[in-house]
Structure 1
Amino acid sequence: MASRFRTTRSHGRRPSTAKREIKKRLLVVCGGRRTEKDYFEALRDHFRASTVTVRVKTDSRSPLHVVRTAADLFEKAPDDFDECWAVFDVDSFDVRQCITEADRKQVRLAISNPCFEYWLLLHFCDHVGHLPEYRAVKERLKPHLPAYDKTGIRIADYLAGVDRAIECARKRDGDQVPPGENPNTAVWRIVTQMVPAPVFLPSPRRGD
């Protein structure tokens, strides 16, 4: 998907200097009520990256509403953010209109197919088999997180696997056209900006 994402601003901002480190400012609007927001905020608070600030909002209606909310917030505060992201699941939605509108309104997309829990699963294994719905992904999570509750993310459960999840998701996502072939997630495109450079990890265990 070709998008004309904002890379520069022309609102009187003073030019940067070589000695001044400019933080990238991300606006992330999530479609889930709790899980995505809790994950991003906990990750942000844990790493406290010096090169990025992240503001997380939610809109638990349809993916199209998520895109429109993100675009509206971005347009209302053009000097507050450098990138605007809409995070939502495919589930049973037809997301083609969302993708078209996001491209038109300069909103970047981090779509998970079928759901955000697939991103969480990649913290533990490199699963590549088709996952028809949320319940199937949750069943795959159970061996790793028997007490998984989407309303109570514990970031400590995922920290050791963040680099692994980025590696697996990047390899799977590649240059696929959104929303990507199931299973797929583009959440790594946000997370990779929030965490330190990955350390060497052994190859992830392949899931079935």
Structure 2
Amino acid sequence: MAKSKDHVRSGQNRGRRVSRGRSLKPLVVFAVEGATERVYINALITHRYGNRIAPFFAETRDKSSLTNLVSEIERKMQRDGGAAEGAWIVCDTDANACHREQLEKWLLQSERHRVAISHPCIEYWFVLHFKVTARSLDAQHVVKELDKEWLGGKSYKKGASIPPDLINATENAIKRVRTRRQSLDSGADVWNSPQWTDMPELVEWLDDLDPQSSARTLDSGNVS
């Protein structure tokens, strides 16, 4: 899993990126489940990292299964990933539990291979940018809950653009995920918890990769 300051999912906490010249943007290969994940990653790269990181996306169809994501990211890495700092699969749990073995094999192939999974969906991660906790436990109701909090009085739509204000609230969401994990039993993860997201590990990994990264700290008094 992702290299994490909390070491929550230690199976992925392996290795560090290879140093590269400051004149080139670090390259990261992604295989994402759908348009929402792609739009979010692009917004994150733009608004948090000032486009100082170059994302390359594998050619995946919308609502791709974990099997398809593994196959496509392998193909993308073989074709364009020689200089990549890492390869990330970003998806929801959906019906992917049956593909866990294939995912684990892929993760063990290289220290560059990583995954960020959300349960029940990535919108759970979005909700935590606005609220201390999310009430909903299934994807359909999480989306409805997010819709009530969406910025600018507009309705949330999957695959629509992500506003900068959401990205600016990333530190709040990270802290709320950590607080949530502290309340879970030892050994809890995305496959056995009613709510979970690995997105903080992805963000922290990208923070470390950012050529102009600076310490991002959050005054606890700013989180409600």
TM-score by length of 1: 0.76
- What is residue 110 of structure 1 aligned with on the other side? 116
Give the secondary structure class of the aligned counterpart of 2:104.
helix
Give the secondary structure class of the aligned counterpart of 1:88.
strand
Distance in 2, matches of 1:84 and 1:173, equals 25
Segments of structure 2 that go 5 or more residues without pairing to the other structure are 1-9
Question: Taking structure 1 as reference, are residues 99 and 126 closer, same or farther at Cα in structure 2, changes over 3 Å only?
Answer: farther
Q: For 2:170, which of 140, 162, 165 is the aligned residue?
A: 162
Structure 1 position 124, deviation (Å): 0.8
Question: Taking structure 1 as reference, are residues 50 and 38 closer, same or farther at Cα in structure 2, changes over 3 Å only?
Answer: closer
Q: For 2:159, which of 135, 151, 157 is the aligned residue?
A: 151
Give the secondary structure class of the aligned counterpart of 1:64.
helix
Instruction: Verify the 8 A CA contact 2:118 2:125 in the aligned structure 1.
Output: yes
Kindly provide the amino acid, as one letter, of the partner of residue 37 in structure 1. R
Instruction: Verify the 8 A CA contact 2:27 2:53 in the aligned structure 1.
Output: yes
Instruction: Verify the 8 A CA contact 1:21 1:51 in the aligned structure 2.
Output: no
Structure 1 position 178, deviation (Å): 4.7
Instruction: Verify the 8 A CA contact 1:89 1:114 in the aligned structure 2.
Output: yes
Question: Taking structure 1 as reference, are residues 77 and 7 closer, same or farther at Cα in structure 2, changes over 3 Å only?
Answer: farther
Give the secondary structure class of the aligned counterpart of 2:161.
coil
Question: Taking structure 1 as reference, are residues 4 and 198 closer, same or farther at Cα in structure 2, changes over 3 Å only?
Answer: closer
Structure 1 position 96, deviation (Å): 1.9
Structure 1 position 57, deviation (Å): 3.8
118-127 vs 52-61, greater mean Cα deviation: 52-61
Q: Which runs of 4+ in 1 moved over 6 A?
A: none
Question: Taking structure 1 as reference, are residues 182 and 46 closer, same or farther at Cα in structure 2, changes over 3 Å only?
Answer: same
- What is residue 68 of structure 1 aligned with on the other side? 71
Distance in 2, matches of 1:170 and 1:117, equals 17
Offset from partner CA, 1:144-203 (integer Å, 9 cap, x none):
115111121232341331111122234445875454622111112222325854342435
Residue 181 (1) aligns with residue 204 (2): no
- What is residue 45 of structure 1 aligned with on the other side? 46
139-148 vs 116-125, greater mean Cα deviation: 139-148
Kindly provide the amino acid, as one letter, of the partner of residue 139 in structure 2. Y
Percentage identity across paired residues of the two chains: 21
Residue 80 (1) aligns with residue 83 (2): yes
TM-score by length of 2: 0.71
- What is residue 30 of structure 2 aligned with on the other side? 28
Distance in 2, matches of 1:16 and 1:163, equals 27
21-30 vs 63-72, greater mean Cα deviation: 21-30
Q: For 2:142, which of 137, 140, 151 is the aligned residue?
A: 137
Segments of structure 1 that go 5 or more residues without pairing to the other structure are 10-14
Give the secondary structure class of the aligned counterpart of 1:143.
helix
Instruction: Verify the 8 A CA contact 1:40 1:56 in the aligned structure 2.
Output: no
In proportion to residue count, which structure has more helix? Answer: 2
**Count of aligned positions:** 196
Distance in 2, matches of 1:180 and 1:166, equals 20
Give the secondary structure class of the aligned counterpart of 1:110.
strand
